[in-house]
Each structure stands twice: as C-alpha cells, then as structure tokens.
C-alpha cells in the first residue's frame, strides 16, 4: 500500500534563507505523526508545501499518490488542513461558515447538511452553531477550524499547532479530539510542545533548522538515544567515599556529587545504556554502611531527547563553521 505522504529530498529556499534542506520522510495510512521542532525549524513550511499553498524549490512530494504541484487540486481534496493560528472568517456564523466551506470543498448538495451537522457534533460545537465566529472563545474557534478540516471526510488531516494559545482545559479537550480523530484519519500535526507529541502521536519526527534529525516512536527514541536515564541518590555518607565508590558501580556511566547544608550527599548518576544500576548502588551503600534516603530513577523524557538532538546538531554546525574559518585562515 502506498504511503499517505511521501516526501523526498524536499528543499525550500526563500530569498536568502534555506527553510528546508533535503527533507525526506513518509507517513503511512492511519498514523498519527507529530512534527516536532523549535520555532522556525521548518514545520509550517513543510505543511504549506504539502497542502499546495506554496511550492517546493526542489524535491518530490506526493499525497495519496498524487504530486502536490502537478495535481494540486486533487491533493487538496484529500487533505483537511488547519493552518497556524487557525484563520477564519470572523464575520460569519459557525454553521454558515461550515456550509460555505463544504460547498467550496465540493461536498455534494445532498450530503452537505448532514456533513456539516456531523462535523459540528464530532467537534462539540453544535451548541454554538448560530453564533458569530468572531465572538467565540479561542477554544471554540479552534474546534471550528477542526470541523472545517473534517467536512469533506479527507484521508489526511494536517494540523499546524492545533493547541497553540489554548488554556489547559481546552488543550486537553483538543488533544482528546485529535486522538479520537486518529482512529479514522491519518494525522500529521506540528507542535513545539513536547508532552503533546508523547500523548497524542504514535510517531515523532524531529525537525531542526530545516533538517530531520530523528523519526521514530517516542519509546524507540528513548531507547536509542539515551536509554538508561538518570538515577537520583541521596545519602548520609562521607563525601570522599561516595566520590570514589559510585563511579565504579556496574552500570554507571558518570556521577555528579554535591553536598547539601543538611549534611546529605546528593549524587546524580547517569546510567549506561540498557542498564539499571539502582540495585548495585543499593549494594554499594550497604557495604559502605551509608544511610540511603532516596534512590529514584527518572526516565528520559522526550524533552531530554529533543534538547540532546538539537544541541548535537547545533554543536556539529558550530564545528563545521570553525573548520571553515580555520581553512580561511
């Protein structure tokens, strides 16, 4: 089966700026994929190209087997798109707007009423359908945008920052909705909020400075990038003993030891990949006769991965720059 989205060597240059640099990825049918990256990484640009709003400078992009540039109108029929900041006609009423959009998207006259009603019910805006969009709260407007994206029952939903600017309750509601929609549609959503991806997506694509740095499930990313995680240890013991013993405990990669005012020793232990050194640390404490107050493991969050991956990339970039400079000298 052909993938829903296939992007090969996508490059986009604006005057003087390379927004995307040889990006390739695929999204299979039924996947919920999160596009993760800091502001200005190229998320929105990729989405604008996918929806045919702007063309690529180079590369091949197909949606449901259609080239986005050659068969733009056909591609647009497959996509339900919610742009960044969710622009809507604020002077229209909700049902009036959705009816207009349904017509524009070519929903047959006979089905139109039903589709509009269905989209409103799925997004929970049926009770505000007679209100003017400009007077709705941001959460409701966001749902109007989602309802619009659903109208023509597209195979693919592309949502650019769907939870931006919402309050915590609204964010939770929109995430639930996205998960619900993921049962029937392929979804590509972008965000720079990490927990969002962990909660809603079954795959993450990390993009930074127009390049894809990683693409995997949140679990796998954790495993491959830094599996062991951190172990926090609090002890009542002589500082020198802790400093000499802990680093040689099996499974420990590195240790940072500090002392507190209360006479406790705090050790931040970084575990080796695929290792859990907690039991070994306990044994070491018993042997040394230390009093152990805390021994906890913090799992690597996506945030750590994200920071790590983007930092590595930034450092690599810096190295390249330094090399170029030294060559020039």
Partner 1 sequence: MRNVPTLLRREMNACFASVLGYVVLVFLLVVMGFVFCSSIADLLASGTTQITVMRRFFYWFWLPSLFVIPAITMRLLAEEKRSGTIEMLMTAPVTDFEVVLAKWLGAVVLYGLMWGLTGLYVLILRKFTGGLTSLDFGPIASGYLGVLLIGQFLIAVGVLTSSLTKNQVVAFLISFALVFLFVIGIWFGEYFARGTTFGKLFEYISCFTHMEEFARGIVDVRTVVLYLSASFWVLFVTTRVVESRKWR
Contact residues for partner 1, defined by CB under 8 A:
14-15, 48, 51-55, 73, 76-77, 79, 81, 83-85, 87-92, 96, 100-101, 103-106, 148
Q: Which of residues 15 and 110 has its CB atom nearest to partner 1 in the complex?
A: 15
CB of 43 to partner 1, least distance (A): 15
> Residue 99 in contact with residue 119, Cβ under 8 Å?
no
CB of 164 to partner 1, least distance (A): 13
**Structure tokens of 307?**
């920071």
Q: Which of residues 48 and 175 has its CB atom nearest to partner 1 in the complex?
A: 48
CB of 179 to partner 1, least distance (A): 24
CB of 322 to partner 1, least distance (A): 34
Taking alpha carbons only, the member of 245, 249, 253 closest to residue 229 is 253
Q: Which of residues 35 and 97 has its CB atom nearest to partner 1 in the complex?
A: 97
| Cα–Cα distance, 23 to 20 (Å, whole number) | 7
Note the helical H segments in the chain: 43-50, 72-78, 94-104, 109-123, 138-150, 168-181, 194-200, 218-226, 239-245, 278-288, 302-328
Q: Which of residues 61 and 221 has its CB atom nearest to partner 1 in the complex?
A: 61
Cα angle 9-83-43, degrees, rounded to a multiple of 5: 35
User: Which residues, in sequence order, are bridge partners of residue 40?
Assistant: none
CB of 200 to partner 1, least distance (A): 23
| Cα–Cα distance, 101 to 119 (Å, whole number) | 12
Q: Which of residues 11 and 227 has its CB atom nearest to partner 1 in the complex?
A: 11
> Residue 102 in contact with residue 117, Cβ under 8 Å?
no
CB of 165 to partner 1, least distance (A): 14
| Cα–Cα distance, 293 to 240 (Å, whole number) | 18
């Amino acid at each position: 089966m052909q993938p829903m989205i296939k992007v090969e060597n996508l490059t986009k240059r604006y005057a003087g700026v390379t927004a995307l640099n040889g990006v390739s990825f695929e999204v299979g049918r039924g996947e919920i994929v999160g596009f993760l990256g800091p502001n200005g990484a190229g998320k929105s640009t990729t989405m604008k190209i996918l929806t045919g709003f702007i063309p690529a400078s180079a590369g091949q992009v197909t949606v449901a087997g259609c080239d986005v540039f050659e068969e733009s109108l056909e591609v647009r029929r497959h996509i339900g798109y919610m742009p960044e900041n969710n622009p809507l006609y604020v002077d229209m009423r909700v049902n009036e707007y959705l009816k207009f959009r349904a017509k524009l998207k070519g929903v047959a006259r006979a089905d139109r009423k039903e589709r509009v009603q269905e989209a409103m019910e799925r997004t929970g805006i049926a009770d505000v359908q007679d209100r003017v969009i400009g007077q709705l709260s941001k959460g409701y407007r966001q749902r109007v945008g989602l309802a619009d994206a659903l109208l023509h029952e597209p195979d693919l939903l592309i949502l650019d920052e769907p939870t931006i600017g919402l309050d915590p309750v609204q964010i939770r509601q929109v995430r639930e909705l996205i998960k619900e929609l993921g049962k029937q549609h392929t979804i590509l959503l972008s965000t720079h909020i990490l927990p969002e991806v962990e909660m809603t997506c079954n795959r993450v694509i990390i993009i930074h400075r127009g390049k894809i740095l990683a693409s995997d499930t949140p679990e796998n990313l954790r495993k491959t990038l830094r599996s062991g995680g951190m172990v926090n240890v609090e002890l009542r013991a002589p500082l020198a003993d802790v400093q000499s013993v802990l680093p040689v405990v099996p499974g420990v990669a590195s240790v940072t030891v500090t002392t507190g005012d209360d006479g406790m020793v705090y050790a931040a232990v970084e575990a080796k990949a695929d290792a859990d050194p907690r039991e070994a640390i306990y044994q070491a404490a018993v042997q040394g006769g230390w009093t152990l107050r805390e021994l906890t493991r913090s799992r690597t969050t996506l945030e750590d991965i994200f920071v790590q991956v983007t930092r590595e990339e930034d450092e690599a970039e810096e190295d390249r720059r330094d090399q170029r400079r030294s060559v020039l000298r």
